[in-house]
Amino acid sequence: MVTGSQIGSGVFMLPATLAPYGLYGLGGWLISGLGAIMLALVFAQLCSWFPKTGGPHVYVKEAFGLPASFFTGWTYWIISWVSTTVVVIGSIGYLLPLLGVTSTYLKLMLEILLLISITALNFRGVTAAGHVEFILTALKIIPLLIVPLIALFYFDIHNFVLNEAVSTLTTSQLLSRVTLLTLWGFIGLESATTPADAVENPSVTIPKAVVIGTISVAVLYLMNSIGIMGVIPGNELMHSIAPYAAAVRFMFGGSWHILLSLIASIICIGTLNAWVMASGQIALGLAQDKLLPRYFGLKNKFDAPTTVDRKERVQIPDEACRNLLSHREAFYYNCFL
């Protein structure tokens, strides 16, 4: 869950974003990776002290009281399920070239079907969703290990070029920029603290998972950035809309974009599953602490939150529908609702 919630489309796009900064981009990964690991250690210690479902709001409550805890938990919950709209769209978007789908409405149906499937999986409880997440994580880690290792045979240090547009910046300014860019890749490291009550021996298991998972993610990000940025010249990489595909095409030739599309979709689906699991647990924890109505704390026979998942999974397709409609269609859609 730790790696699944962190590794998303950023692993494909960040090498292009960092390309103008040359070797400073790798420095950014080192700094943000170290910061993320330090943050993981903080969450690990907090979870060992307060092994309770809900995540960050639990620790805020202990330190600052209920009002601050409510705003922390409520904000985190809203972000957790609103942001999955983009992940759903990305998961299907990467598959469209393989499926040959051109219809906007068929794309919407596929997105809703994916969301229903992931929600149904999470209705089976944390254990079932966790097993699937483990498989998805393994499927996406394998290529993220193999590709950068092969890229070492094509590596050229001269591809790391500082672009003229940022050449006037000081070292501290350059490192500040790249650190901020790379830190985005670690969003979600705290999500493993959310299902504490559903984990065996959470005060030991979750801290280990958070720290080891975050270290693994940091290593993967750094490896892939070194590999991709070392294969394609920086001035060319910075303009690429598909840097990973460009690097693989350079190394192997042929139509590798098809396989990459499948890998990218798997990565997004893994991220989606992790955040669907987390969002349900966040609201469940808030309800248990009486910071949300008791209605949000209902669970099924698999000990999975049900009310929360139903509400969120209705809201997300609603947002997707609005994005697809014209202004006039959206007006009638709102009237219908």
Q: For 236-258, how does the pLDDT look when each residue is reduced to its tens digit (9 = 90+)?
A: 888 887 787 788 888 887 777 67
Q: For 116-154, how does the pLDDT look when each residue is reduced to its tens digit (9 = 90+)?
A: 899 889 888 888 888 888 888 888 888 889 889 999 999
- Dihedral, CA of residue 270, residue 181, residue 147 and residue 24, to nearest 10: -160
Helix 84-93 with 307-324: angle, nearest 10 deg = 60
Q: Hey, what are 188's tokens? A: 């979600």
Planar angle of CA 101, 254, 225, nearest 5 degrees: 90
Q: Which residues make Cβ contacts (< 8 Å) with residue 247, sequence separation at least 6? A: 15, 147, 151, 227, 228, 231, 232
Name the region of 293 (left: φ>0; alpha: ψ -120 to 50; beta: rest): beta
CB of 317 closer than 8 Å to CB of 328: no
- The tens place of each residue's pLDDT in the chain, 337 residues long, gives 778 777 876 787 788 889 999 999 999 999 999 999 999 999 989 988 988 888 899 999 999 999 999 999 999 888 888 878 878 888 888 788 777 777 888 888 898 899 889 988 988 888 888 888 888 888 888 888 988 999 999 999 999 989 988 989 999 999 999 999 998 888 888 887 888 777 778 888 888 888 998 999 999 999 999 999 999 888 888 888 778 778 888 888 777 767 877 888 888 888 888 888 888 888 888 888 888 888 888 888 877 787 654 545 555 555 555 555 454 444 443 444 3
The amino acid that residue 96 corresponds to is L
Residues 91 and 51: their CA atoms lie apart, in Å, by 32
Q: According to the CATH classification, is domain 2-80+128-294 in 1.20.1740.10?
A: yes
The number of CA neighbours under 13 Å toward the Cβ of 264 is 26
Q: Which residues make Cβ contacts (< 8 Å) with residue 182, sequence separation at least 6? A: 14, 18, 25, 28, 29, 31, 32, 33, 221
Residues 45 and 336: their CA atoms lie apart, in Å, by 49
Q: Which residue in this structure is represented by tokens 């092969």?
A: 150
Q: Hey, what are 149's tokens? A: 């290792």
